[in-house]
Structure 1
Amino acid sequence: MLSAGLVGRRIVLRYRRADGKLPPLSDVVGELASLTPTTAIVAGPNGLTTVDRAAIVAVRAVAPHRRQILELERIARRGWRAAEVVDLDGWLLHADHGWTGRANSVLPLVTPRRPLAELLAAAGRFYAERGLPVWVQLPLPARGLLDAELAGRCWSVQRPAVLLSAPISGSAEAWGGDEGVRLDPVASDAWLQGYHYRGGPLPEHAVRLLGRHDRVRFASLSRDGSVVGVARGAVDEAWLGVTAVEVAPAHRRSGVASTLMRALADWGRGQGASQCYLQVDADNSAALAFYQRLGFSAHHRYHYRAAPAES
């Protein structure tokens, strides 16, 4: 009912109050801050509530608040730093030679006061100057209204994805063994040869993007002298972001990915991270099932909207 996998997630917890108090049951809503064998501590709007685990009647995870969704998307962009970032009244315009949607799209963190048409026109000029299409990332349901507005303007959906999260403490111990993983602050040639974004080789601006971070590690696992798996980890605030996970086809389902995850989690914990996030394409059922087995759960979904082609 109540497990370590819920630490860091937003929950509703129902518990029995002390003898004689009315009503006999009470609810607390907030983030499960910590869990011990005897108590659960929930961080809610009125501060911390400590509940005796023996008094807990029911618990369920609830969707993150809109603010939490947007905050995690802000942090995720910090972990994947585009060469250019321009603030347009709270809309962050990212551009980096068109490599990846995250580094070449608008992230609407706030609801600006300017009319939508004016904002879209300004974003259009920004991307046109760089020879890029206009894409807007829409974390859902936090940006559901904007999504509907763009749908009404015939903007098309691109690359639906799921952002997954998990606490590091209490989960990472089950992520893999202690097989030797190399962690480098700079991507080596062997690491780069092991990573193929959407099947293609990496251009120089992609290599620069991957390394554009002050707390980053490139994890690689070798067997018989050859790199069989790679991953990248970056820490921002209390979050470890894992990206660029790839395992050589002949070594899949042999523990490579979980071993890489464990090594990055151990490093991230040493950097002060308590939570881990990663993004998975919504139609990648194998990856979603794998990360679910590691204790990850869906924090929220998102997709991009692309501006319609000019007629």
Structure 2
Amino acid sequence: MTPEILTSLIDATWPAKSLRDVSGWTIREGAGGGSRVSAATATKAAKLEEYPLAANAMRDIGQNPLFMVRAGEDTLDAALERDGYAIKDPVTYYTAPVEKIATERPPAVTCFEVWPPLATQAEIWDAGGIDDARLAVMERAESPKTTILGRVHDTPAGTAFAAIHDGVAMLHAIETASAFRRQGVGRHMIRALAFWAQGRGATQVALLVTKANVGANALYTSMGFTPVGGYHYRIQTED
């Protein structure tokens, strides 16, 4: 998968409030929705020496300059490092054929498809740092999309979001309440979303996770996801 395809998949399934082009650089207005919807990326028309124009465009909308550096963008990475931009949150992109994940349905009454999300899901997300600004990102995503409410012993225990773009179901905001971790809730929700995606014609299931999240990386690998790329951010730091 090329960096451009990965970026278009993110923009469709986890979209910024707005996008605009500045001299070949895509500027995202994140509206508080986190790095993924706030980072600038280079298009094929971008000139490396003009990246300060993108930085200024981000400042103009009240955002700290932040760039997504994808596979193959080593020259950009070196220029940003030279100019004092620090690495932030290296991310791995995982993918799997949908039939490899949709192998066994979760136990009865453990996972429910819900749209729009329920208040109890918002509470679980909020406890995990996924606030209203990120819920607004879900609202903006194109359809088909859904959430899963995971339950343990009739108690809300987890939640996750997914949207489909070009045959790929992208999973976002997978969150298990702290009291229910290590009980298989995350695995059940991912499988439930894979069956949902399969029923809507998706051929691939994909997700993004920071390399620092050791537990999540281990879970996705154990389920059959394969790392096929990724990116990291470069953020301007104070002198």
TM-score, normalising length: structure 1? 0.71
Distance 2:45 2:80 in 1: 14
- Asked if the contact 1:91–1:107 (Cα under 8 Å) also holds between the matched residues in 2, the reply is yes
The Cα of 1:80 is off from its aligned counterpart by 0.5
Matches within 5 A, 1:255-274: 255-274=184-203
* 1:156-176 deviations in Å (ceiling 9; x for gaps): 1111111111111233205x5
When the two chains are superposed, the root-mean-square deviation of aligned CA atoms in Å is 2.0
Q: For the residues of structure 1 that align with 2:23 and 2:206, how far apart are their CA atoms?
A: 27
Other-structure match for 1:20: none
Partner of 2:10: 76
CA distance in 2, matches of 1:90, 1:186: 36
Matched residue SS, 1:137: strand
Cross-structure match for 2:60: 129
Q: Deviations 1:146-192 (Å, cap 9, x if unpaired)? A: 11121122211111111111111233205x52433211221111110
1:98–1:132 contact (8 Å) kept in structure 2: no
Q: Please, which moves more after superposition, 92-101 or 286-295?
A: 92-101
Deviation at 1:89, TM superposition (A): 4.3
Structure 1 residue 251, shift from structure 2 partner: 1.8
CA distance in 1 between counterparts of 2:27 and 2:189 reads 32
Task: Find out whether 1:252 has 2:165 as its counterpart.
Answer: no
Alignment equivalent of 1:147, drawn from 70, 77, 98: 77
- Structure 1 distance, partners of 2:171, 2:156, is 18
Q: Which digits, 9 at most, give the CA deviation of each residue in 1:268-304, with x for residues without a partner?
A: 1122211111111111111111100000111113110
Is contact 2:101–2:194 with CA below 8 Å preserved after alignment? no
The 3 A distance-change label for structure 1 pair 238 and 89 is: farther
Match of 1:209 among 108, 113, 137: 137
Shift of 1:235: 0.5
Point out where structure 1 has 5 or more consecutive residues left out of the alignment: 1-63
Question: Match for residue 32 of structure 2?
Answer: 98
Within 5 Å, which residues of 2 pair with 1:215-230?
A: 215-230=144-159
> Which stretch has the larger CA shift, 270-279 or 165-174?
165-174
Structure 1 residue 303 corresponds to structure 2 residue 232: yes
CA contact (8 A) 2:27 2:39 kept: yes
Q: Which amino acid is the alignment partner of residue 126 of structure 2?
A: H
- SS of equivalent to 2:194: helix
Q: Distance in 2 between matches of 1:201 and 1:163?
A: 20
The answer on 1:159 being equivalent to 2:52 is: no
Is the aligned partner of 1:231 residue 2:160? Answer: yes
Helix, strand or coil at the partner of 1:263? helix
| Contact in 1 for aligned 2:160/2:173 (Cα 8 Å) | yes
Q: What is the count of residue pairs matched by the alignment? A: 237
**Offset at residue 111 of structure 1 (A):** 4.6
8 Å contact from structure 2 (residues 55, 66) kept in 1? no
Structure with bigger gyration radius: 1
The one-letter code sitting in structure 2 at the alignment partner of 1:98 is: G
Which protein is richer in helix relative to its size?
2
Q: For residue 239 of structure 1, what is the amino acid of its counterpart?
A: V
Note the C-alpha offset of 1:101.
0.4
Whole-Å Cα distance in 2 between the matches of residues 307 and 148 of structure 1?
14
SS in 1 for 2:233: strand
Q: Indicate the SS of the match to 1:254.
A: coil
Q: Return the TM-score normalized by structure 2.
A: 0.90
**SS at 2:192 equivalent:** helix
Q: Which residue of 2 aligns with 1:171?
A: 101
Aligned-partner residue type, residue 25 of structure 2: W
Q: Structure 2 CA distance, aligned partners of 1:190 and 1:218?
A: 12
